[in-house]
Amino acid sequence: MRIEARDLVLRYGEVTALDRLTFELEGGKIYGLLGRNGSGKTSLMSVLSAFRKQSAGSVLLDGAPVWENPAVTSAVSLIRDAGESVDLGTAADALYFAEWLRPTWDAAYAKELMELFGLQPKANVKAMSKGQRSAMGVVVGLASRAPLTMFDESYLGMDAPSRHAFYDALLADYMAHPRTIILSTHLIEEVSPMFEEVVVIDRGRLIVHEETERLLARGHAVTGAAAAVDGFVTGLTVLGEKVLGPTKSAMVYGELDAAHRRKAAEAGLTLGPIAMQELFIHLTGGPK
């Protein structure tokens, strides 16, 4: 499912949650949606899933508007941070409604996932622990096999072994049944190896949409004698600096050509990569 947003705006009274977002996401990829708290990630997913109507602009999924369009919304699954179907009775009830709503539902796979996460069909969802509700959401999101599947921090309540079981299950099922998947997360280092492309928004505005490898290739840690580092980074975009005695490390953003690399070597400087989480922090880490 292809996503097209044009000058997308969402307001809550006088608060602008999404501010003229324009982007296109090709179908059949896993996307990372990153942003600080309050950046607009949940608002964007709510519009994409027709939980909310945009205040201005347009959203098209495979060329069709999503708002009040059952043919499109039945192909979209949004699993939010509270888990899934918290007020729908038992886990079996939640699966029943998910199957009723999703034409692509796979009941056998749902049963397999329930066993994987140790969930009992007769258990009351409302009485489940946060981790169990998160796992319940993961089951519904994966077994729905919706052409557009979105997880909005919905696995945060799970412990580390359960989260990694989710990542393994997601990748395996994505390979077997390709679809468009969007993962919103604060566990960037843990989840980012799955991202094919990264979308970063800040204060409701798009600041980065890039292939993961290319984005990481734009970040460099320049380390060496402080004076040499200062001379090297002149004219470059410096995201942050760290000083330890006479040694300094500067994080720069942008392409470094052969001339830059030669200059670094001549100055005795070390060029290293920046982890996705570090890059994200420095791209969005200014005053709120």
What's the DSSP call for residue 250?
A: E
All structural domains of the chain with their residue ranges = 3-211, 218-284
Write out the chain's pLDDT in tens, 288 residues.
999 999 999 999 999 999 999 999 999 999 999 999 889 999 999 999 999 999 999 999 999 999 999 999 999 999 987 655 556 789 999 999 999 989 999 999 999 999 999 999 999 988 888 899 999 999 999 999 999 999 998 887 889 999 999 999 999 999 999 999 999 998 898 999 999 999 999 999 999 999 999 999 889 999 999 999 999 999 998 988 899 999 999 999 888 999 999 999 999 999 999 889 888 888 887 654
Determine phi and psi for 261, rounding to 5 degrees.
-65, -35
7: left (phi over 0), alpha (psi -120 to 50) or beta: left
* DSSP per-residue codes, 56-107: EEEEEETTEE-TT-HHHHTTEEEEBTTBS-TTSSBHHHHHHHHHHH-TT--H
Rounded to whole angstroms, how far apart are CA atoms 136 and 84? Answer: 6
Please compute Rg for the chain using Cα positions: 21
Architecture of 218-284 per CATH? 2-Layer Sandwich (3.30)
What's the DSSP call for residue 262?
A: H
**Domain at 3-211, CATH from 1.10.1740.10, 3.20.20.140, 3.40.50.2000, 3.40.50.300:** 3.40.50.300
